[in-house]
Amino acid sequence: MNMFPLPIAFSIGLLCFLGFVLSLYFHLVHNHGWDPNQPWIPVLVRMTDCRCDEIVDTEFGLKFGYSNAFWGMWYYLLLAAAVVAHDLVGIPPAGGLLLVVVVAACYSVYLLWALYLMRVICRPCIGVHLVNFLLCALVLSRTWTLLFTT
């Protein structure tokens, strides 16, 4: 039942934590007026001196009335819980986990394209998209054999 060995599960958990923190940071800075110079956020992904706010209120930045950062926080929490549940009891199935992370990675490609079209460099956004690609690669590396073996 334990499909994700401890190092892979730990890596997925760490990436989910990182994605959650970046999403939370973006959400708090944009929606609650937090100072973007938070000491707990690495300088590389801070929202200072970038045009991140320009994308939030566009068709690319809002889904169902909430920002992508809001949905991202929930995504990373639920993905981490799903990986733990999968390893403990086998639910959700590995194919379901793979589908979720592939959809998230495809959505990241779409949002990166939107950043390109708008000529905006949003460091937290790029960081989150990198997290999504790494999560997809990790889950795919463990589920690949399930998909293509007979």
Would the pLDDT of 148 be above 80? no
How far, in Å, are 35, 70, 147 from residue 131 at the CA level? 24, 16, 23
Q: Which residue has the higher pLDDT, 145 or 18?
A: 18
Count the Cβ atoms, other than its own, within 10 Å of residue 70: 19
From first CA to last CA, the distance across the chain in angstroms is 19
Domains of the chain by range and CATH? 6-148 (1.20.1440.130)
Would the pLDDT of 72 be above 90? yes
Burial of 140 (0-12, 13-18, 19+ CB in 10 A): middle
Instruction: Quote the pTM value.
Output: 0.88
Backbone CA torsion sign across 50, 46, 53, 66: positive
Residues in the chain: 150
Average pLDDT of the chain? 87
pLDDT of residue 2: 64
Q: Which residue has the higher pLDDT, 17 or 47?
A: 17
pLDDT band, residue 136 (cuts 50/70/90) = very high
Q: What is the pLDDT of residues 77-115, one digit of tens each?
A: 999 999 988 888 877 887 888 899 999 999 999 999 999
pLDDT band, residue 150 (cuts 50/70/90) = low
